[in-house]
Structure 1
Amino acid sequence: MLRFAAPALTALTLISGPVQALDLSAMSADERDAFGVQVREYLLENPQVILEAINLLEQQQAAAESQADLQLVQNNADELFNDGYSWVGGNPEGDITLVEFMDYRCGYCRRAVPEVAKLLQADGNIRLVIKELPILGEASVISSRFAVAAKQVGGDEAYKQVHDALLEFGGDATEVTLRRLSDGLGLETDAIFEAMNSDAVTEEIARTRELAQKLNISGTPTFVLGTELLRGFLPADQMQQIAAQVRDQS
């Protein structure tokens, strides 16, 4: 019968607040059996208590996770918002920064492209930072190295052209496809390929990976909007609501 005691006590504690301390070890075997019977009868008569307790527990866990994510963002704010190497778009002087960790082979990252564009169009006061986080295999790594190399060789405009083209392309990155893409954009293709395996490109991607690990990021897209860490794809209207909440809290 004691197997019913734990959920009952959890339910009573979560729904009604702390109960008086109960020392089961001080009970006799008969007393423990009687207590178990009473708990079982109560739960059978009031099964909604368990559901209420579970819902409340989930809310408490979500709040704790949200607070932990908030602390992670605060602890890594400089590397998130001002790392000195990530591409910056939107309104560079915006009052809120949206950071996106992305992978070119990620379908949800491609779905996020028009949603982020809608957000930036609707709210002209958001600064956008793109962070390369290739986690979906070697083709992802090659694409990111190519994009970062394009930025280091040709600057922000070249990076944005390559970034947009790779997201639209969505296929496997090979030397043939990347050269064709670069030539089509009129970029310095040979210089970009020479830079792809440079220490500077390797360091940039490694720093972003290290930051993602600190933030417990395991998938793409992942966003940081102001102080909020958003794990997964979100439509523009939800991001607008979060931006408004962030501004209200600041």
Structure 2
Amino acid sequence: MTALTRLFAALAAAAFVFAAAPAQAQGFTPQQRSEIESIIRDYFLKHPELIEELQALAQSEKLKKVISENRQALFHSPRQVTLGNPNGDVTMVEFFDYNCGFCKRALDDMVTLMKADPNLRVVLKEMPVLSQGSMDAAQVGVAVAMQDKTGKRYFDFHQKLLSGRGQVDKARAMAVAKEVGADMARLEKDISGPEVRAALQESFALAEALGFQGTPSYVIGNEAVVGAVGVKELQAKINMARCGKPAC
């Protein structure tokens, strides 16, 4: 039984006792209200962990509301890159930065999950927060995605850029774009164009609404996950979205 459940049980018991009193016919008396407040106060003092549980519950409900209000932009934006099964029953959205060391580790997690789960749909959203090099690389990445709606060329670009060593900047991103067969003349034109700018603005607006400040960060179903938590944790969240349990 969780602390929250125990609190509800204590309050219910108190309310039942007071409800049986004759004064209840006209509502709780000031003394009864004072006693109920005392029960709540004493319970919080004895169970401080409840405060964290309530805060987590409030944050979870807030995130569910944000996800619901931004569902179209999160899961079905025409500016996003979609990998895996486009008709999959669960979508995992990842916000990333090409200079994020943890995102490099998370790349292997994503590839592993897609290979193991034919019903997983993956959405990638650029979130270049670490440096100007990250921003420049993100602009190149969005421009690469604009040339291939299947996402195959972009995914090739994404893996090569994230799996390389050292800092990523515009020069390196452009070199990788050329390596994967992008139209470089068009790319040069697009990286400073309105569509690339709109795509990045959309990602930043979503990240801000969700409270994401670092990468990688994920949205899976109605839950947010922050950090490179690993395959096991991500799979558990995917399963929760799919069947309501950590293991389906």
Q: TM-score, normalised by structure 1?
A: 0.76
Gaps of 5+ in 2: 1-6, 16-31, 36-41
Gaps of 5+ in 1: 1-12, 24-42, 44-48
Aligned counterpart, 2:241: 246
Matches within 5 A, 1:129-208: 129-155=123-149, 156-208=151-203
Aligned counterpart, 1:92: 86
Aligned counterpart, 2:50: 56
Matches within 5 A, 1:78-117: 78-117=72-111
1:116 deviation in Å? 1.4
Q: 1:135 to 1:234 in 2, by over 3 A?
A: same
SS for the counterpart of 1:105 is: coil
Deviates more, 1:114-123 or 1:135-144: 114-123
1:236 deviation in Å? 1.1
Aligned amino acid, residue 81 of structure 1: F
Contact 2:81–2:124 (8 Å) recurs in 1: yes
Task: Give the greater-gyration-radius structure (CA).
Answer: 1
Aligned amino acid, residue 126 of structure 1: L
- Residue by residue over 1:123-156, the C-alpha shift from the partner in whole angstroms, topping out at 9 and shown as x without a partner, is 2211000011111121110010011111223442
Aligned pair 1:68/2:62, yes or no?
yes
Aligned amino acid, residue 120 of structure 1: M
Aligned counterpart, 1:226: 221
Contact 1:95–1:126 (8 Å) recurs in 2: yes
Contact 1:88–1:130 (8 Å) recurs in 2: yes
SS for the counterpart of 2:211 is: coil
Contact 1:104–1:170 (8 Å) recurs in 2: no
Q: 1:218 to 1:179 in 2, by over 3 A?
A: closer
- Residue by residue over 1:192-214, the C-alpha shift from the partner in whole angstroms, topping out at 9 and shown as x without a partner, is 12221111111111111112122
Tell me, in whole angstroms, the C-alpha distance in 1 between the residues paired with 2:114 and 2:148: 25
Q: 1:187 to 1:214 in 2, by over 3 A?
A: same
SS for the counterpart of 1:101 is: strand
What fraction of aligned residue pairs are identical, expressed as a percent? 27
1:16 deviation in Å? 5.2
1:187 deviation in Å? 2.7
- Residue by residue over 1:22-60, the C-alpha shift from the partner in whole angstroms, topping out at 9 and shown as x without a partner, is 49xxxxxxxxxxxxxxxxxxx9xxxxx85x521122112
Contact 1:14–1:56 (8 Å) recurs in 2: no
Q: 1:183 to 1:120 in 2, by over 3 A?
A: closer
Q: 1:70 to 1:21 in 2, by over 3 A?
A: same
Tell me, in whole angstroms, the C-alpha distance in 2 between the residues paired with 1:95 and 1:132: 23
Q: TM-score, normalised by structure 2?
A: 0.77
